[in-house]
Amino acid sequence: MTSQLDRITVNADVCGGRPCIRGLRIRVTDILGMLAAGASRQDILEDYPYLEDGDITAALEFAARSADRRIIRAAE
């Protein structure tokens, strides 16, 4: 499977520097939130016609990689 992460952009002037899709003002978290709320890929693509299926895949890939980071806690 080819990575879609090149679709994720971060720009301090767009959405406060949060990860977005292709420089558009739709954040990765927006897509993840819609999916978590039960929207299908088709629902999202119909509601946001400027998005592409690969954009949704990119958001999921970004989330999967972000969730796999090691968490180190300071000693108490």
Question: From the first residue on, what is the mean pLDDT of each consecutive set of 10 residues in the chain (76 residues)?
Answer: 89 94 96 98 97 97 87 74
pLDDT score recorded for residue 43: 98
Report the distance separating Cα 72 and Cα 74, nearest Å: 7
pLDDT score recorded for residue 70: 75
pLDDT score recorded for residue 5: 92
pLDDT score recorded for residue 72: 74
Instruction: Tell me the DSSP string of 18-54.
Output: --EETTSS-BHHHHHHHHHTT--HHHHHHH-TT--HH
Domains of the chain: 5-67 (1.10.10.10)
pLDDT score recorded for residue 1: 63
**What pTM, to 2 d.p., does this model score?**
0.85
| Residue with token string 């088709």 | 42
Which residue type occupies 15? Answer: C
